[in-house]
Each structure stands twice: as structure tokens, then as C-alpha cells.
Amino acid sequence: MSKQRLGQTPSQTVGPFFHFGLPYEGDSNLIVGDAQGQRIVMEGRVTDGNGEPVPDVMIEIWQANAAGKYDHPEDTQAKPIDPGFHGFGRCATDKDGIFRFQTVKPGAVPGPGNSLQAPHLVTFVFGRGMLKQLLTRIYFEDEAHNANDPILGLVPEARRGTLIAHKTAPATYKLDIVLQGEGETVFFDY
């Protein structure tokens, strides 16, 4: 009999399966009816450390509705649920690394220590070769609450711009996600 070595199972990389392995009926449109609030498009491009587009990445967003309430049982705020909006979307990047969501601009939500968090999109990035998805946030440039957001305040001022989407048209915001290198997006530990 030979001796077997016991140890950890070697890790596996993720993908490639995003375009066909994780379909989601709602996809990139979070609006399912007559949603309340300002309808917006949130778009961007995912690039690697060389500035090249990254196809076959999946971006997931979770967000509150326009009133600042998540469509989730753990959100017990006395704010209304919007039946025309579900707060979750998933979008694969195209061959040019582009993603695009149709959603509503979220309201402010409660944060740590009864503080108020600026409107934001909780954003996960899944990609080929990643052992674990990346977590970040997308904030909006025209929000006064950004100045006092307890999470954004933890990010060094010189890096905050990697989290703030800019208005490119009356109802369109853009934020590019840089996976590494110069201008790398701030990603959070969780």
C-alpha cells in the first residue's frame, strides 16, 4: 500500500462560464414595472492592468430603491418597497469590456452607528482566473451625502475617484472598473 498525503485541495480558477452559465432572468434591467424615482443608465468598461478591455466578466449590483429601502427581508425600515423595482442586476461585459444597467438612482440608506450612507450601488466583479469575486461600490458625483458617507470616508481621498460615477448625459452615469495597476478601482475586504 502506498501512503497518501493528506492536505488541502488545490484551488480552481473561476470560469469561463459567465455568458452561459449564470443566466438571470432580470439581467441588467432592474426595473420590472412602473418604478418610482429617477430612471438612470449605469455603464462602464472593465479593463486590466494594461488598460485592455476584459470580456467575459460579470458585474452584479445590489441597491436600494429610490426611497432608500432594499427589497430584502432584512431591511426592516418603515419605507415602502417598490413593486416596479427589484434592486438586483447582473450583466456580462461584451468583447470591449462594456457593461450597462438600467436602474433607478438609489436613495440614501442607514449606515454604521446610525449614520446615513450616500446613494450607491454595491458591486461585485466576477472574472476568469479570480478565485474570489471583488467587492466595490459605485457612488454618484452629484450627491451631497458623499461628503459624510462613513464607508467612502474610509477610502483615501486620492483614491475616491475610482468609486465615483460621472454623469455623461442627463440620465446616464459612467464608471470604469480597473482591475489592477494605475488607477485601480478600490476593492473592499469582506
Residue 187 lies in a domain: no
Has residue 151 been placed in a domain?
yes
Give the model's confidence band at 18: pLDDT under 50 very low, under 70 low, under 90 confident, else very high: very low
What value does the mean pLDDT take over residues 145-156?
A: 96
Q: Which three cell numbers stand for residue 187?
A: 476593492
Cell numbers standing for residue 69: 429601502
Q: What are phi and psi of 50, to 5 degrees?
A: -100, 5
Residue 2: inside a domain:
no
What's the mean pLDDT in 144-173? 96
Q: Could you tell me if residue 80 is inside a domain? A: yes
Q: 15: burial class by Cβ within 10 Å (0-12, 13-18, 19+)?
A: middle
Q: Looking at the 3D structure of the chain, how many domains does it have?
A: 1
CB 164: neighbour CB atoms within 10 A?
19
Domain encompassing residue 147: 18-178
Q: Are 30 and 104 in contact (CB under 8 A)?
A: yes
> Looking at the domain assignment, is residue 71 inside a domain?
yes
Average pLDDT over residues 145-164: 96
Percent of the chain with pLDDT over 90: 78
* pLDDT per residue as tens digits for the range 86-116: 999 999 999 999 999 999 999 999 998 889 9
CATH number, domain of 159, equals 2.60.130.10
- Whether residue 46 lies inside any domain: the answer is yes
Does residue 5 lie within any of the structural domains?
no
